[in-house]
Amino acid sequence: MLSLDSFWEDTRKYWADLRSIGPVVIVTDGLRDGTAYYLTRREDMLEVLLDPNRYVRTAPSPTRRAVDLTRPLLRRREVNADMSSPLRERAAAAIDSVAVAVASGKAVMTSEIGSLFADHVFFAMTGISYREELPQAVSEHRTAFLSKLVDQAGNPIDDAEAVDLVEMLVLAGHEALAAAANNAVREFLVKPELYDELREGPQRVADFVDELVGTVSTTITRETTAAVTVAGVEIPAGSRVELCVGAPADGPGGRLDFGTGLHQCIGRHLSVLALTAFVQEWLTL
């Protein structure tokens, strides 16, 4: 496993410190006015994620219909077939525009690069640069993704609903995708040996992307609808429970960066493919 020393080591230490306290860490949060229960064991987090009746989301979540309409289009096979080439093209375009800006003497922040790439992922999905043009892109079936979204058999969907669904996906993933791309750029800038290592062993890009995902993992928040007991700790009804998704052992079998069960992130395959395309294109520089 490759190591992102500038970001990942501090994160690992933070999770390790939490794990050393116990499976349930009780934190008094002055900013959010209350007590939170941080869970650090994978088995406890899985129990929470798979029980949406006793542990409910605190933020708005996609409707069941929205998930049913978008999930089939964002499975690994469909994303690879429809989005691989567009994502590589948009990654190249984003990186080229940064190179042009730098060559002209403009100072470019790494945060700008990540945000720009996230915008280009939106372009790969829709074929447009500005969200104001989204209704027209939907009506014209501008990309394979939009065409499949609107023309799903057995699921009548009008253009207005399709626009709402695309907006939902963009808002859900833009910030985390931009942050992960930022971290990749920073890591390449401070560790040229990592850049060389990945160029010489491109098969290790998947490991690097997996760790990139870990650099933006924080917590998944739920609220209890009834009193529960987790690892011997009694948690009252109405309590905030924070799932420390990066705390378990490293690797896809340990961390729960994208959640699981009913509320698993529907854009996880798109996010991984997009980051892979970005890293692969950066390695061509």
**pLDDT of 51 higher than 80:** yes
Find residue 39's DSSP bridge partners: 24, 243
pLDDT for 204 beyond 70:
yes
SS3 (DSSP) at 201: coil
Report yes or no: 201 and 136 within 8 Å, Cβ to Cβ. no
pLDDT score at 1: 37
Q: For 226, which DSSP code?
A: S
Judge whether residue 53 has pLDDT over 50: yes
- As a whole number, mean pLDDT of residues 13-40 equals 82
Residue 6 predicted with pLDDT over 50: no
**pLDDT given for residue 263 in this prediction:** 57
Q: What is the pLDDT of residue 108?
A: 81
Whether the pLDDT of residue 31 is over 60: the answer is no
User: What's the whole-number average pLDDT of the chain?
Assistant: 84
What is the reported pLDDT for 78?
Answer: 93
Sort strands 233-235 and 228-230 into parallel, antiparallel or unpaired.
antiparallel
- Tell me 192's DSSP state: H
CB-CB neighbours of 189 under 10 Å: 11
Q: What is the pLDDT of residues 156-175, one digit of tens each?
A: 789 999 999 998 888 878 88
* Exposure class string for 10-22: b at 16+ Cβ within 10 A, else e: ebbeebeebbeee
* Range with the largest mean pLDDT of 99-103, 141-145, 247-251: 141-145
pLDDT at 253 exceeding the cut of 60 = no
Query: Is the pLDDT assigned to residue 3 strictly greater than 50?
Result: no
Burial letters for 55-85: b for 16+ Cβ neighbours within 10 Å, e otherwise? beeeeeebeeebbebbeebbeeebbeebbee
**228: confidence class by pLDDT, cuts 50, 70, 90:** very high
Domain ranges of the chain: 8-282
8-282 falls under which CATH superfamily? Cytochrome P450 (1.10.630.10)
Would the pLDDT of 5 be above 50? no
Does residue 282 surpass a pLDDT of 90? yes
Q: Contacts by 222-225 with C-beta closer than 8 Å and gap 24+? A: 222/48, 222/55, 222/56, 222/57, 222/58, 223/55, 223/56, 223/57, 223/58, 224/54, 224/55, 225/53, 225/54, 225/55, 225/56
User: In the prediction, which pLDDT does 251 show?
Assistant: 46
Calculate mean pLDDT across residues 37-61. Answer: 87
When pLDDT is cut at 50, 70 and 90, the band that residue 254 belongs to is: low
* pLDDT at residue 4 in the model: 42
